[in-house]
Amino acid sequence: MMATSAKITSASRPALQSARWIENILLALDEQTPCRTAVPIACRLSELYGATLHVTHVGLLALDPREIPARLGFTAQQRHGAVFNQAKGDRAHAVMQLAQELVEPLVVMSTHTGQPGGKDRFGSVTESVLATRPARIVLLSPDRRQKEWKLRRILLAHDGTPASHAATAPAADLAQRAGAEVIALHVAARGRERPREPGSMPAPLYIDQPQHEWPAWADEFMNRMLAAGAPPSAIEFKLTVTSGRPGSEISELARERSVDLVVMAWHGHWEHQTCATRVVIQTSGCPVLLLYSADE
């Protein structure tokens, strides 16, 4: 709908430097079974990124690193190329310490890593790691169990704010590596004020004529997402819009469309029970990649 322009080309977007995107996968595990749901995801992500898999044991009892693969149930194939170590002292601190030492790390862990928290709380290590607001983290609910994980469909949750663009390139990059498709979901939110960030593009408040407004809005939404998010140009996004509470809408679509990974920008909030991030992690039925983006 927007005027065609020779100035909008994929070539003019900054090229994503894929090789530097993720170089290390940091998988935090304790010896509890629920944690192990993260193993196939971390292994597959390590393959997709060509990244080194670092497995750090954060259980209460210290293990000899040589014992860790067997104690944590790694198959021979999964052990290949992985680095195992034992976290010492404050487990969460140790995870983040290692994350800081690694180049371009991606933390992967179950929501139930560490001591069980109270009702509606994540495990103690997970909570502590989240509190440090890691730049990138994949979280998944233990409900998933240790099923094989294939990445065929990615759901990019985008609230239309410039901060959300942080998730666009990572979603597209992963899709390109895995040959997956990307659904970009925008939820017209109830119970939320319109975002104040300049450049925000939530669903329209005025739809004077839907026959014109929707195509124009969709074009503009995608234009901004592609220009600011700078994803690889080969990836196509399928935009869809729903309305309601963002967390439950994202989860519902993820389940409906058998999504394998939800990718979303994250402002560092997860504590509140109705927080969209928490709801998605708990109810989407798939791993969630959070990309930290500070509040504007």
Partner 1 sequence: MSTAVSFEEQLRPGHGDGSLGAAVARLRTQDPKWLLVEEGFTLTREHEVESLFAIANGHVGNRGSLAEGSPLSAPATFVAGVFRQLETPGAIPELMVLPDWTAVRISIDNQPLTIDHGEILEHRRILDLRCGMLWREWRHRDPCGRITRVTAVRLASLSDRHLLLHSITLTAENYSSVVRFESSLEVDEGTSVLAPDWKVRASSGRPNVLPLAVRVPGRETTVAFGVTSLILSSTDVPGKRVVALDPHRITEHCDIQLEVGSECQLHRLIAVFSSRESSRPFECAMEHLRGVMPAGMPAAASAHASEWQARWRKADLRVEGDDALQQALRFAAYHLIASANPNDGHVSIGARALTGAAYKGHVFWDTEIYMLPFYIFTCPRAARSLLEYRYHMLEAARNKARSFGFRGAMFPWESADNGEEVTPRAVIAPSGEVFEILNGEMEVHITADIAFAFWQYWQATADDDFILQAGAEVILECARFWASRGSLEADGDFHIRHVIGPDEYHENVDDNAYTNLMAAWNLRQAAAMAGILEQRWPDHWRDLARRLELSPEELDTWSKLADCVFTGFNPETRLFEQFRGYFEKQQINLNDYEPRTAAMDVVLGHGRIQQTNIVKQADVVLATYLLWDEIDPAVRAANFHYYEPRTGHGSSLSPAIHALIAARIGEAQLAQGYLKQASEIDLGNNMGNAAGGVHAAALGGLWQAVVFGFAGLGTRPDGISFAPNLLAHWSRLSFPLEWRGSQLSISIEPGAIRVEVAGSAGLKLQVDGGPTIQAEPEREYVAERAMPGWKPWQAIAR
Interface residues with partner 1 (CB under 8 A)?
A: 1-5, 7-8, 12-14, 160, 162, 165, 186, 188-218, 220-221, 223-224, 227-228, 230, 239-244
Residue 159 Cβ, how far from partner 1 at the closest point, in Å? 8
Residue 146 Cβ, how far from partner 1 at the closest point, in Å? 34
- Non-local (6+) Cβ contacts of 204 within 8 A are 213, 217
Residue 2 Cβ, how far from partner 1 at the closest point, in Å? 5
Of the pair 108, 291, the CB lying nearest partner 1 is at 291
- Non-local (6+) Cβ contacts of 211 within 8 A are none
Q: At what angle do helices 124-131 and 91-101 cross, to 10 degrees?
A: 50
Of the pair 58, 225, the CB lying nearest partner 1 is at 225
Of the pair 17, 209, the CB lying nearest partner 1 is at 209
Of the pair 111, 168, the CB lying nearest partner 1 is at 168
**Could you tell me how far CA 191 lies from the centroid of its own chain?**
24
Residue 212 Cβ, how far from partner 1 at the closest point, in Å? 5
Residue 62 Cβ, how far from partner 1 at the closest point, in Å? 49
Do residues 162 and 228 lie in contact, with contact meaning Cβ atoms separated by under 8 Å?
A: yes
Of the pair 65, 244, the CB lying nearest partner 1 is at 244
DSSP letter for each residue of 48-112: HHTPEEEEEE-SSS---TTTHHHHTT--HHHHTT-EEEE--SSHHHHHHHHHHHSSSEEEEEETT
Do residues 175 and 150 lie in contact, with contact meaning Cβ atoms separated by under 8 Å?
A: no
